Structure formats: C-alpha cells, structure tokens
Amino acid sequence: MPILEELLAGFRKYEHDSSFQNEFLRLMEDWGGRPTPLYHAQNLSTAYGAEIYLKREDLLHGGAHKTNNALGQALLAKKMGKTRIIAETGAGQHGVATAMACAKVNLPCTVYMGAVDVARQAPNVQRMKLLGAEVIAVTSGGATLKDAINEALRDWIASCNTTHYLLGTAAGPHPFPTLVKHFHRMIGEESRAQCLEKIGKLPDYAIACVGGGSNAIGLFSGFSEDQDVRFIGAEPGGEGLDSNRHGAVLVKGTPAVLHGMRSLALQDEDGQIQDTHSISAGLDYPLVGPEHAYLRDIGRATYTAITDEEAVSAFYELAALEGILPALESAHALAQAKKTAKEHPDCTILVNLSGRGDKDLEHIMAYAEAQKNA
Amino acid sequence: MLNTRYTHIHDKVNIGKAVYMPYVLMGYPSLEGSVAAAKALIDGGADGLELGLPFRDPVADGPVIQDAANVALDNGFKADDAITFIQQVRAYAPGIPFTVMTYFNIVLAKGIERFIGALSKAGCDGILIPDLPPEHANDVYPITQAHNMELIFIVAPTTYAGRFEKIRPYAGGFIYVVTKMGTTGMKEDFDSDLKTLFTEIKAQINLPAIAGFGISTPAHALDMVKKGANGVIIGSKIIQLCSDNFKEGVLSPAPLQEHTKKIQASLVA
C-alpha cells in the first residue's frame, strides 16, 4: 500500500506538469507516430451498411495502442527515481511496448509472461528480447495473463523500493486504472477532434474490444461528455457463452476482488477465478478494469460477446476489403461494428483499431486449418 | 474487547514467553491429511494455529503455498470444507486460538456475513485477509465483531506511522509481522533493522507481534524472538513436511510433532 500511495503522489505531481507532459507528447509524436489517422473505411462501410471510421492505433509505433501507456509510465517511473521496470504481458503487445519504452528511457526491464502465451506469441517474445528485456515464463495456474500478473505483483511486493510495476491494462489497484486511462485518453481525444473535422459530427457509436479494457477506456474517455455517443465494448465470446470457454466478464461475470481491485470476474461459487478462453491472447483475462464495470452498471456503456468465429470473419473481411490486417483483439470490435450496422443501418460507427494483426498470422492459419478438419 | 481464545497467547506473552502458531493449509495434502497435520501440531505443543484456505491466485504467498493450494483444490476442496475442518480440530483442542487466513474474494463469494458467521460458529477466533487493506476493513469489521472474531492485520517493513493509525482501530488478536519484503517462503536473510520494526510495532499497537514469512528452523525462530518478536508463524516449511510425510493417502504425524517440539524448545532457550 505505501508503494501505491507513492505512485499516486508521483502521478498527481506530474499529471499537470507541463514539462513532463511536453516531453511525453513530443516523444509520442516523433518517436511514437501520433496522432494516428482516422480512416473512413468506405469498402467496409458499403459491405456492412453503415459509415465506419477506424482509429488507426495499429499504425502506432510497436503496432498497438499499448505504446501510449508504456511510454507514459516509463517516463513517470524515471521521474520518480525508479531504476528498474517490471511488466506483465498476455499477447506480448504490452511487453513489447514496455521493452521499447524502457530502451528509450534507459531502464532495465523484466517482463512476466504466461508460459502458454510465450509459446503462442513467439515473435513478440523475440521482439522483447531484441529490445533488451528479460522475459520470464510463468508456469503457475493456467500460465496466461492472470498468472503473469500474480508473478509481477510478487516481484513488486519484494522490489518496490527500486522498481516500478508498469501495469498494462486499465485494471489492478488504484491508481493504475486512473494512470492507464490518463495515458490512453489521447485515443479518444484525437478521435473526437478528427470526427468533427472529417465528418462534421460525432459518431453514433464508439466501439472497442475489451480484455482488461485499456484501449476501450482510452477511446470512451474522449467522449465521456457526449451522451449521444453510445459506447459498446466487445468482449471475447470464445467458443460461445454457453461453452464456459470464453472471457466475457462484463456479460457473465460476478463481483470479485483480485489484483487489488473490486470489479467483476468469471469465478466459481467459492470465488476461485476461472480460466478463460479466447482466440485472442490479449483478451484472455478473467477480470476487467473496474471503470468498465461502473460504466455498465450506470448504463453508459453496453458490453457484448463476440465469438472466435465472428472475430476471425471480421479479420478476413477487413483484410480483403480494406487491405488491413487487424489484431485479433481489434477484430472483435470490427465484428461488433458489423452487428451494430445491421441493427442501425446508415449510422456512423467509430471503431478503435487497437492493433495490427502481424503477430496473429500463425495463430489464424492454425485456426483455419483446424476449422477445415473439424 | 472481545472474549476470544487469543487470551491464551496474550497470557503467555504477558509473562515474557514467546508463542508458536504454525500454519496449516486446509485440504492439503488431503482433507483428512490436513486434519491429521493440525492435530500433530497441537500434540507437538502449538500455541495456536493459522488455517489457510486454498486460493488459486494467492499473490501474498510464494510457490510452495500456491502449488499446495492447487493440489487441495484439484482434490475437490470447497470453502465449506473449512467449516468441517475447524469443527473437527476445535473438538481436539478446545483452548488455543485458530486464525483463518483467506483471500478476500472467497469471503465475498461465500457472503461475508454468512461465511464469517459459520467460521465463528465452528470455533474460529480470528480472520486474516491479506488483500483487505485497512481502508476497506469496515466492510468486514462490524461483522467479525458481531460474531466475536478478531480481525488480524499484517505489518511490513514498509508500514509507516500513518498506516498504524489506520490499522489500530480494527486490529485484534495479534499483529502478523512480515519480516522481509516479499511473499511467504523459505528465505533465510532477514532484514537487519527488524529490531527497530518490532520496537515500533509495540510502541504503536498493544498486541503481540508475531513474525512470519521466511522462518523454517529453530535457529530462525530464536533469532526472531531475540530481535523482539513475541512469537513466530511457520508456513511453507509445514507444507513441505506435510508433503514429505504423506504416503499412500496417510499423513505420518511424528515429523510434524517433532518439528513443533524443536521450535517450542528453541523459543524457551
């Protein structure tokens, strides 16, 4: 707890500090490639029957939105005098972003990654190592993201005097959800300005995928005052909600306390957290950021489940119609856009294309092979 | 002030003696095996027991306890089995305090009122919830009070004066002192300024300061008491002894009894 108080104090000190903000924003432009474009996907719009705009976080340095938060927190840790960074990663995108940011700010970096994810996201493991990070494979539990977070928390309990835990999603103990949202809110703020400039109005829907919920909270936060913009979070429906092989926490979860937060989780009647399943490693998390639970409860956002099959179809459609390979995570948001378009023809939909799909190629080919043989 | 069996350890501490409260993980190596282990520790002279509830994500514990918890859960242990466990062991040892150690999510899922009520009725004296910070203690405290159960708190080398203020209104039974930064397990190097820590705790809170984390041998136990602890808790080593002495579904109690006697002998020395 004292370390969380120290982190909150550090964050409050630099949150509005203009030299810190300027350094962060300048690096995000010149090193990171911001602002990312807003793209009117006309072919997809025609196919889906609504006006679809993509926020191109896939074009950000590193290939996903994760870079925003990784650089922000790494700079903050440096300012706070920390000399080492640890992080957890699921799909490896946050691990890669953290390794990049640590190389940039010159801090040693250790990334905890579930052994299952190490195996299914091998290219990202290599990228992290090339960027100078140490990658530790976690074998406990289901050996995925939740277990990597457990192990990172254990490291931090022992090392917090020197080490910053660079948490990658809008979850965990306060102030992490606040911190992560802060560094991602540029996704929503840029989108809002770009919509007004390019479309001359705000979208009817803002859609993002939700695992822990970082890209979604970044997108939604830019429109928090715009009550006419409806928020939809697309959760991993895996093999379907009746299969127990999914990760739709906001659709099917119950109140829980874990990883230092009170939120929702998929759990049994004894409060034991259950293993999740998704084709997308980045959405494979049995809890969710607490602000999403709040947005759901007050009715500001709705959350839906997209199956593996629907996400994969959306992946192929974007590739074929627009020449863009989306991350499988982001493909969940695209699949939801297709459904929303069908329910509300001719509406305007903003989709956060949170990452690019290069990392998923092997996985998607294997899925196609398995479907063929099924 | 509640009337609980913690008076048993308070009486001993008040006359200058150190106490030993080993940790048993309920359901490990089996439900019957863990009951046998608890009885062996009692026979060896334990002054109280810490009773762990298996949880799949025990972030305050190291790999030894996590692996054991997974074994217990894979064997089918349910939170309600804790009630049966406590009833059985309570019948065997009417006078010593039992402290249940559980992560908050189990209590939340079972229903705070219902679960704490059942633990109390079974014969439990206190509950330690490592992931319940004092900022949220009031979610539980009125209920533990109503059921004559103490809420036990952890103090670590990073706990500063301001946090004692937050802990003090709720803390009962004893203070569980984390002797080094990290998780439970068998690390042998203790932070050198532990003497200062124990002095600080005693100045801040009028409860016995019991050292946990990283203690496994009589020498460690004695060292802790010399540095100012009013007693010790041993956990991971007990798990290991349970594992080493569980053959064909039966736990041999003798090694656990012997270990307990050796620890008690070291505390008297």
Closest C-alpha to A273, from B82, B103, B131, B99: B103
How large is the average pLDDT for residues A354-368?
92
Average pLDDT over residues A171-179: 96
Tell me, what's the pLDDT at B172?
98
pLDDT in tens, A242-272: 998 999 999 999 999 999 999 999 999 999 9
Residues A46 and A70 in one domain: no
Residues in B touching A139 (Cβ below 8 Å) = none
CB-based contact A88:A259 (threshold 8 Å): no
Quick one: A266 and A363 in the same domain?
Answer: yes
Catalytic residue list contains B50:
yes
Question: Cα dist. B119→A214, B81, B125 in Å?
Answer: 39, 11, 8
Q: Residue A270 — left, alpha, or beta (φ > 0 → left; ψ -120 to 50 → alpha)? A: alpha
pLDDT of residue A2: 84
For residue B49, give the H/E element and its range: strand B49-52
pLDDT band at B186 (very low <50, low <70, confident <90, very high): very low
User: Same domain, yes or no, for A192 and A144?
Assistant: no
Contact across the interface for B105 and A154, Cβ inside 8 Å: no
Rounded mean pLDDT of A221-226?
98
Q: Minimal CA–CA distance to A153: which of B60, B68, B184?
A: B60
From the candidates A45, A55, A57, A66, which is the catalytic residue?
A66
Domain boundary among A106, A135, A165: A165
Query: Distance between CA A86 and CA A82 in Å, rounded?
Result: 11
Domain for residue A273, yes or no?
Answer: yes
In a domain, A50, yes or no: yes
Q: Which of A165, A200, A230 is the last residue of a domain?
A: A165
**Residue of chain B nearest A269, judged by CA positions:** B109
Find the CATH number of the domain harbouring A82: 3.40.50.1100
φ, ψ of residue A206 to 5 degrees: the values are -120, 120
A173 part of a folded domain:
no
The pLDDT, as a whole number, for residue B185 is 59
Cβ atoms of residues B26 and B52 within 8 Å: yes
Residue bearing the bigger pLDDT, A365 or B192: A365
Residue range A3-26: average pLDDT? 96
- Token match 């009117």: residue? A40
- What confidence score (pLDDT) does residue B157 get? 86
- The CATH superfamily holding the domain B7-268 is Aldolase class I (3.20.20.70)
Whether A207 and A335 map to the same domain: the answer is yes
Tell me: do A100 and A214 sit in the same domain: no
Same domain (yes/no): A74, A53 = no
Q: Report the alpha-carbon distance of residue B109 to residue A264 in Å, rounded.
A: 11
- pLDDT(B190) > 80: no
Does residue A200 lie within any of the structural domains?
A: yes
Q: Which residue of B has its CA nearest to A254?
A: B109
Mean pLDDT of A81-94: 95
The pLDDT value given to residue A26: 98
Q: A117, A132, A165 — which closes off a domain?
A: A165
Q: Is A66 a catalytic residue?
A: yes
Return mean pLDDT, chain A: 96
A74: its two tokens = 């790494």
Q: Are residues A303 and A215 in the same domain?
A: yes
Note whether B148 and B194 are within 8 A (CB). no
Note whether A6 and A112 are same-domain residues: yes
How many domains does chain A fold into? 2
Give long-range contacts, CB 8 A cutoff, 24+ apart: A250-255. A250/A210, A250/A288, A250/A292, A250/A293, A250/A296, A250/A303, A251/A303, A251/A304, A251/A305, A252/A305, A253/A286, A253/A287, A253/A288, A254/B109, A255/B108
Among the ranges given (A138-142, A221-225, B90-94, B199-203), the one the predictor scored with the smallest mean pLDDT? A138-142
The span from the CA of A259 to the CA of B120, in Å, is: 27
Query: Domain-by-domain residue ranges, chain B?
Result: 7-268
pLDDT of residue A142: 82
List Cα–Cα distances, A290 to A212, A226, A287, B108, in angstroms. Answer: 9, 21, 9, 16
**Same domain for A157 and A214?**
no
- Closest approach of A162 to chain B, Cα-based (Å): 12
Over residues A341-352, mean pLDDT? 98
ipTM of this model? 0.93
Cβ neighbours of A267 in B, within 8 Å: 105, 109
B213 contact A CB<8A: no
Assigned domain for A315 exists: yes
Measured between beta carbons, which residues in chain B are less than 8 angstroms from residue A3? 158
Contact B106 A270 (CB under 8 A): yes
The residue of chain A nearest to residue B64, with distances taken between CA atoms, is A140
Six token digits for residue B9:
């350890």
Q: Is the pLDDT of residue B37 over 60?
A: yes
Predicted local confidence at residue A148, as pLDDT? 94
Pair A208, A147 in one domain:
no
The mean pLDDT value for B100-107 works out to 98
Tell me what pLDDT residue B191 has. 58
pLDDT given at position B192: 61
Quote the DSSP letter at residue A274.
P
Looking at the structure, tell me whether residues A225 and A316 fall in a common domain. Answer: yes
What tokens appear for B132 in the block? 């319940």
Amino acid identity, residue A265? A
Q: What is the mean pLDDT of residues A114-127?
A: 90
Out of A51, A57, A88, A310, which one is annotated catalytic? A88
Instruction: Tell me what percent of the residues of chain B surpass a pLDDT of 70.
Output: 95
Which residues of B are less than 8 Å from A160 in CB distance? 158, 181
For chain A, state the CA radius of gyration. Answer: 19
pLDDT category of residue A121 using cuts at 50, 70 and 90: confident
Res. B40: pLDDT tops 60: yes
Same domain, A79 and A153: yes
- pLDDT tens track for B50-65: 999 999 999 888 889 9
Q: Which domain holds residue A125?
A: 2-29+66-165
B104-133: average pLDDT: 98
Highest mean pLDDT, choosing among A216-230, A272-286, B211-225: A216-230
Residue A235 pairs in a beta bridge with: A305
- A258 closest CB neighbour out of B57, B67, B158: B57
Q: Compute the C-alpha angle A132/A136/A139, nearest 5°.
A: 160
- pLDDT bin (cut points 50, 70, 90) of residue A133 is very high
Of B55, B60, B182, the CB nearest to A272: B55
Please state the rounded mean pLDDT for residues B5-17: 97
